[in-house]
Amino acid sequence: MRNIKLVAVLFFITLSSCQQSKVYDQFDKDFDENRWQKTDVRTYEFDITQGATNYNMDLHFAHIGGYQFASVPIDISIETPNGSIISNKISLAITDENGKDKGDCAGDICDLYANVFENLPLEVGKYKVKISHNFQGAFLQHILGLGIEVSAALD
């Protein structure tokens, strides 16, 4: 019985320590008719309060299963506290080489997480992240949500 209590305590300590590394998590679901318009630049703002730490940023892209495109061109920029801009252009792979969804799909809803910045040294201060798509059409359809997660990089 004592071993079970010890295991339970260790489990909760481990679980809470994993969650403490996350410094920001925002997910938007407000896409009219599940369309992400080309002119719709999503903006996220967060504060870094602990310096001398590297951070990871993941993009959360939710879509309807069986997405019609194998990849989506995404532009991401981070405005740092000193005003400099860090940019990244990615081709977000929606499916693998066999056409299977890369995201975690439950029914026709898929959640795809992709690392867009890894081990990025961020100083203390306020950050502004802007995300847009560079798709050729006026909008991307079948979009259920978009967001970012920022967490301390674990060694």
Share of the chain above pLDDT 70, in %: 86
Tell me the C-alpha distance between 10 and 8, whole Å. 5
- Please give the CATH number for the structural domain made up of 24-152: 2.60.120
User: What's the CA gap between 105 and 41, in Å, rounded?
Assistant: 26
Q: What is the pLDDT of residues 20-53, one digit of tens each?
A: 599 999 999 999 999 999 999 999 999 999 988 9
Interatomic CA distance for residues 69 and 71, integer angstroms: 5
Give the start-to-end residue ranges of the domains of the chain. 24-152
Nearest to residue 92, comparing CAs of 113, 109, 110, 71? 71
Give CA–CA dist 13/48, Å, rounded.
24
